[in-house]
Structure 1
Amino acid sequence: MARPTRSETERRRDGMRAAAVMHELALRVGAENPHQFAGYFDRLTMMTTQATGKWRLNFSGDKALSAQQLYLLARVDADVVHLHQNGPDDLWRAMWGDVHMLWQLCRTRLISAGPVLDDRIWEKIENGCGSERDFLLTMAEFEGEFLLAEFYGVTPVFRHLTESIALYRLHREMSAIIPLGMDGAGVARCVRLCLEEKTIAEKLQRLGVLDGVWEELAAVVGMQGERMLAEDRWDILASKLDWIG
């Protein structure tokens, strides 16, 4: 039975998954290019992928990783399948995952400092915390903390990008059904500022997916209102958050 034809969007996304995995593995083993990575892989597995250039198209994102390749790469790092599916800091889940799974990515629902916490610390908090904010308060608190960090010159981290995308998608889905009383321009602004942040952009560049991520999120960062000033957003949030005087 023939495999179903994949759309151009699916092929592009699979290529981004492949590029991110390969570049991340190369960083972890100290390889500077596909040739060096293949040499490391061959020494580990006694295979001959360096001579055939097996990984080159995966590194460039021009070819998806097959199930067999993922199985082989798991010999290098057991985290491969998780990284391939979820992306760096769950970025692929936020961008392309099932909408029903997005709330789990919104760490601010439990604690305002959630995005900056180490994953091991976050796991303990998530497992031990019994109460959570509702969606609108979570979105307002996330943007408020983002604005506060912006005011003090504290740069966002990669998890801010993941959560801002998740919040934007959730808002879009929910506002299509019922009025929410709060726009999505604030979290769209957070997405743009995260992508423009040097350390986040450099990480995406190292993983070979910076241009692809910008392309995927073009509709979000181009949302009307995303160029609003921080002062305008403070005024909007003042009625949502008690701690804004």
Structure 2
Amino acid sequence: MKNRTDLAREITQSVALLYELARRVAVPDKPETAYSCYHFSSVYDGYSQEATLTNTTKKWHPFFRGDRPLTKRALGMLEAVPMWADARQVYHNGPAGLWRALWGTMGDLIACLRTHPNCTPQTSLHSVCGLVEMSVLCAGEGEIRLVDFVRAVALYRLRGEIEPEARIDGFGLNMTSCAWSLIQASLNECAVLGELDALRVREPIHRELAALESARVATDPRSIF
């Protein structure tokens, strides 16, 4: 039986996936169809070989509403539709790799950081972290994108895991706290918030991150400086 945390995460993954897939089949001159479960169901039914239409049974409605997470069978049904063939991959990785950054392993975090466009196989991890920081710190208004936010989350988690007490030059600001400031800066950007809102996951992401930071500060109150 799933615990409450795992269930909440799977519901977040499910909602984000369905809204992402719905955006792909939206009617260009009818933007509201990007958020319509009815339109989504109609598109699915057009490719399905099932005798009963899901638009009639409202099969996808509970998943869109976040009442329960998608099942393995439901994921298989979605990836059978040609334009949704990567549904399972998107479900597990998240938008721009957000689930890997938020919940993944150490390897996932490093892989997220190494998606920076200026990173090469020869770039050291230390240098990669600097590139990620500069992408946010040096960004102009409106220049921070979802992928920058995702890399900031990965950096925050990585530092919290391997060097929670490390400080700049050994005595300056706490480095994990600096990564947290990158997350805050990203969440002040309309482009980032707009993307999270479009996928209906702004609130759960805020909660997850706030819980992580609260736990970190409770462990070491001085780490916020």
TM-score relative to the length of structure 1: 0.74
Could you tell me which runs of 5 or more consecutive residues in structure 2 were left unpaired when the two chains were aligned.
27-32, 218-224
For residue 187 of structure 1, report the CA deviation from its aligned partner.
Answer: 1.2
Find the partner of 2:157 among 141, 163, 169: 169
Percentage of identical aligned residues: 27
For residue 96 of structure 1, report the CA deviation from its aligned partner.
Answer: 0.5
Contact 1:161/1:191 (CA < 8 Å) preserved in 2?
yes
For residue 130 of structure 1, report the CA deviation from its aligned partner.
Answer: 3.8
For residue 144 of structure 1, what is the aligned residue in structure 2?
134
For residue 7 of structure 1, what is the aligned residue in structure 2?
3
For residue 102 of structure 1, what is the aligned residue in structure 2?
109
Q: Give 2:45's aligned amino acid.
A: D
Q: What does 1:77-88 correspond to in 2, within 5 Å?
A: 77-88=84-95
Residues matched between the structures, number? 201
* Structure 1 moving runs of 4+ over 4 Å: 220-224
* CA distance in structure 1 between the aligned counterparts of 2:180 and 2:125, rounded to whole angstroms: 19
Q: What does 1:92-241 correspond to in 2, within 5 Å?
A: 92-107=99-114, 114=116, 117=117, 129-135=120-126, 137-149=127-139, 152-176=140-164, 179=166, 181=170, 183-219=175-211
* CA distance in structure 1 between the aligned counterparts of 2:23 and 2:157, rounded to whole angstroms: 31
Q: Cα deviation per residue 1:189-215 (whole Å; 9 max; x = unaligned)?
A: 111121221111111111111111111
For residue 21 of structure 1, report the CA deviation from its aligned partner.
Answer: 0.9
Find the partner of 1:37 among 36, 40, 43: 40
TM-score relative to the length of structure 2: 0.80
* CA distance in structure 2 between the aligned counterparts of 1:88 and 1:184, rounded to whole angstroms: 23
* CA distance in structure 1 between the aligned counterparts of 2:202 and 2:135, rounded to whole angstroms: 25
Q: Give 2:22's aligned amino acid.
A: A
Residues 68/145 of structure 1: CA separation in 2 closer, same or farther (3 Å cut): closer
